[in-house]
Amino acid sequence: MLSLQDYLKSGQTTLSNLLMDNYRRLGMSNDEFLLWLQLYRYHEAGDVFPDLAPIAANMGYSQNELYLLLNQLVQKKLLIIDSKKDLNGRMNDYYEFNSVFEKLELLQKQQEKQTETQNFEQQVQSLYRMFESEFGRALSPIEYQRIGQWIEEDHYHPELIQFALKEAVLNQAYSLNYIDRILLSWERKNITSKVQVEEEQKRRKRQMLQKEAPTSTRQLPRVSMHNWLEEE
């Protein structure tokens, strides 16, 4: 029976699950990845240019088959063979593995960008549905175009447009022109996020309380009652 001491003496090769999950997306076949792992194992143990004969035996391949796999990895730039001088001035070959990690980093960024794009597209579709729900009807082509211009040309985030729509609904103003005035007002005040909108609403509420307090003690209405068609 294998003892824990013997197991630990054999050493360990540490590899991120991120590479395990994505090696095929990097262009490696299963056999190429197994060879890459074997070479990386030796690299981690300090042997930067190991003999391929024992690796071929471990994998059950002939050396010619292993050289073919190695050549494929090099051609795909998933493994680099380089040379450097030692302390005695002699040139020694070694395997460079950084290209795989660089490609993995690029792949990760591309996947994150794709996820962001999908989430943004979902927010845009949700925005259109919200307009139709609040207006109680389907949007016209011109209205679709106007909302699209807010996003693509004016670079308003869909979440900000949603808050402007809610503000207009509270004032019972079902008009894109009215919503446009809200967005322009927020733009002048550099309001671009949900938190900033909420802070602005709190500020307006405080102003209303200050105006109402000396003359009336009645409860303030919950609607904003702010006329966005008038310049501040």
For the chain, what are the domain ranges?
4-96, 120-212
Q: Which residues, at least 6 apart from 62, have a Cβ–Cβ distance to it below 8 Å?
A: 56
User: Are 4-96 and 120-212 in the same CATH fold?
Assistant: yes
pLDDT at 10: 72
Cα–Cα distance for residue pair 81/96, rounded to 1 Å: 6
pLDDT at 211: 78
pLDDT at 176: 96
- How many Cβ atoms sit within 10 Å of the Cβ of residue 136? 7
| Cβ atoms of residues 68 and 48 within 8 Å | no
The domain over range 4-96 is classified in CATH as 3.90.25.10 = no
82, β-bridge pairs = 94
Domain range 120-212, CATH architecture: Orthogonal Bundle (1.10)
pTM over 0.85: no
Intra-chain end-to-end CA distance of the chain, in Å: 83
What number of residues does the chain have?
232
Q: What is the pLDDT along the chain (232 residues), one digit of tens a residue?
A: 667 666 667 778 888 999 999 999 999 999 999 999 999 999 999 999 999 999 999 999 999 999 999 999 999 999 999 999 988 889 999 999 999 999 999 999 999 999 999 999 999 999 999 999 999 999 999 999 999 999 999 999 999 999 999 999 999 999 999 999 999 999 999 998 888 888 888 888 888 888 776 555 555 555 555 666 655 5
39 alpha carbon, distance to own chain's centre: 32
- How many Cβ atoms sit within 10 Å of the Cβ of residue 18? 13
